Structures are given as C-alpha cells and as structure tokens.
Amino acid sequence: MEWWQSVILGVVEGVTEFLPISSTGHLTVVEKLMGLPINDPSVTAYTAIIQIGAMVASIVYFWSDIIRIAGAWFAGLADKAKRGPDFQLGWAVIAGFTVTAVVALLLRDLVEGPLRSLWFVVGGLLLWSVPMFIGDRVGKQNRGEDSITWKDGAILGLIQCLSLVPGVSRSGATITGGLFLGIDRITATRMSFFLGIPTLVAAGMFQAATSASSIAAPGGIGWVATIIGIVVSFVVAYASIAWLLKFVATNDFTAFVIYRVIVGLVIGGLLLANVISPV
C-alpha cells in the first residue's frame, strides 16, 4: 500500500467511525476502488487496526468521563454507599463489552471471510436504515445517563454485534438501540462512544497481536502504512467526535439515513452493472 492510500483510508476511518454510516462499509468500498483485495488477511487486519487511532481519539476526548466513571465503579466496589449512577454506568459498559467480545470471537471466521462481500455492505446500509429512521421517531427519549443500568449495557452490547455485518455501523446500531430503549439522543450517542472504546481498542489490539505476520508479510500492507493510517484516523476522528456531539444536540438522524440509502443504492448499482466486483 502506498502512503497516500493509507492517508485516504485514515481519513475515511476517522470521519466515519463515529458517524452512523458504517466505517467498515466505507473502508471496504474505498479499498475496493483502490484495487486492494478486500478479503486478503493483511487488508482485513489493516482495516481493524487503524480503528485504534479513532479509539485513542475518543479516549482523549472523553478522558474526564472515563476517569469519573472508572473512579465511581471502583469506589462502589469498595463501599456500597457510594454506588450511584456512574457506578451503574461502569457496569453497563463492562456488560456491553463482554457480550460483544464473546459474540465477535465466536463469529470471527465469518466476519473475516464471507461478510467481507460488498453485497453485505449494501444490505447493511439499506436494511439498518429502517430501524434507524423508526427509532429516531418512536423512541420516547425520556431517559438520561443517570438511568443506564447493566441490563441496558448488555442489550446494547448485543445490538452492537449487528455491526459485525459491514454496512450496519457500530455507532448506528448502538445509538438506534438506545433510542428504542427510551434513551435520549445525546445519551445514546455518548453510550455509543463509551461502549466503542473498549470494544474497538480490544479488536484492534487483537488483530495487531494475531495478524502481525499478515501485515508484515511480503505483499502485505506493511507497518509503515498501517501506522500512517492510525495517526491520520486519530486526528480526523477527534474533530469528527466534536462535530457529531454538537450535531445531535439539535438535529435528528434523518440526514444520515438518507446518506446511507443513497450510498447503498449507488454501490448496489455499481455491483449490478459489474463496474466493481463484490469481493
């Protein structure tokens, strides 16, 4: 992979990771347009590993929240009298991460194989747009951060597993799930970040540990290009986080739903016309 290709993919990752439009789907399409073999182990590993940059950006952005929640969780373990909303929120994140991690490990071969087809990207973009549109309108949105429990976290973690299908979008899945649970739009978005931090950092580190040989192998992506992608995704993702939180404070997700449908139809049209191949 050329350095400029890694820069482009880092920008795509940084922009799309936290927006409900599917970062994996966009990366898969852009990689395909660049002529990269999207089902190659090295490319699959690269796609997962550069997410570390975006996740580090979210850690930096939410650092004060992370310290507050972690501190409250440890304090609650030591003293029952200190078990407040942040203690419950800590358990929610742990529960959600655990559920997602177990399912992801069980389905790893499927995710890294057949699901890499662009037809799954099309299906994920189009089909998940329906619950996104409905959830944004029927969700009561009368629950704030202080109402989140470990059960909510477990449910959102299970829903987050749907994003193993490229095109669904991890943030799109968890935000939509939160809306159906009656959680308000801002809190649902923040929960998406809180659940995404351990989930995607773990996924990236796991890929780095298990796929290092694929990255560094002759004909592989290479670690220089991978590091460039991580750094670029960090910078772009930080700006993307700030923009998204400001956006959801005064807007619904209609624009994202429309965008998902348009992109899904365009990719589907290109596949049907044999302009691009599904794998």
Q: Look at residue 257 in the predicted model and tell me its pLDDT.
A: 95
**CA–CA distance, 94 with 72 (Å, rounded to integer):** 14
Domain boundaries, the chain: 3-272
The most confident of the ranges 105-109, 194-198, 216-220 is 194-198
**CA–CA distance, 76 with 266 (Å, rounded to integer):** 51
Query: Are the beta carbons of 156 and 110 closer than 8 angstroms?
Result: no
Q: Look at residue 41 in the predicted model and tell me its pLDDT.
A: 80
Give how far the C-alpha of residue 119 lies from the chain's centroid of Cα atoms, to the nearest Å: 19
Give pLDDT tens digits for 40-54.
Answer: 888 888 888 888 899
Based on C-alpha coordinates, what's the Rg of the chain? 18
Give pLDDT tens digits for 72-127.
Answer: 999 999 999 999 999 999 999 999 999 999 998 888 777 666 677 888 889 999 99
pLDDT at 234 over 80: yes
Angle ∠(110,112,118) on CA atoms, nearest 5:
95
**CA–CA distance, 44 with 34 (Å, rounded to integer):** 14
**CA–CA distance, 41 with 44 (Å, rounded to integer):** 5
Residue range 52-77: mean pLDDT, rounded: 94
| Mean of per-residue pLDDT scores for the chain | 90
Residue range 231-242: mean pLDDT, rounded: 96
Give pLDDT tens digits for 161-170.
Answer: 998 888 899 8
At a CB cut-off of 8 Å and minimum separation 6, what does 226 contact?
6, 46, 49, 50, 215
pLDDT at 208 over 80: no
- Residue 63: left if φ>0, alpha if ψ -120 to 50, beta else—which one? alpha
pLDDT at 204 over 80: no
Q: Look at residue 12 in the predicted model and tell me its pLDDT.
A: 94
pLDDT at 159 over 90: yes
Q: Look at residue 235 in the predicted model and tell me its pLDDT.
A: 96
The most confident of the ranges 18-27, 168-177, 202-211 is 168-177
User: How many of the other CB atoms lie within 10 Å of CB of 53?
Assistant: 25
pLDDT at 189 over 70: yes
Buried residues in 165-178 as b, exposed as e (16+ CB within 10 A): bbbbbbbbbbbbbb
Q: Look at residue 20 in the predicted model and tell me its pLDDT.
A: 92
Q: Look at residue 144 in the predicted model and tell me its pLDDT.
A: 94
Predicted TM-score (pTM) of the model is 0.88
The most confident of the ranges 10-24, 97-111, 172-186, 263-277 is 172-186
Tokens at 100, concatenated: 């997602």
Query: Are the beta carbons of 216 and 203 closer than 8 angstroms?
Result: no
pLDDT at 194 over 70: yes
Give pLDDT tens digits for 20-32.
Answer: 998 878 888 898 8
Q: Look at residue 112 in the predicted model and tell me its pLDDT.
A: 63
User: How many of the other CB atoms lie within 10 Å of CB of 33?
Assistant: 11
Q: Look at residue 111 in the predicted model and tell me its pLDDT.
A: 66
Query: Are the beta carbons of 144 and 184 closer than 8 angstroms?
Result: yes
Q: Look at residue 113 in the predicted model and tell me its pLDDT.
A: 63
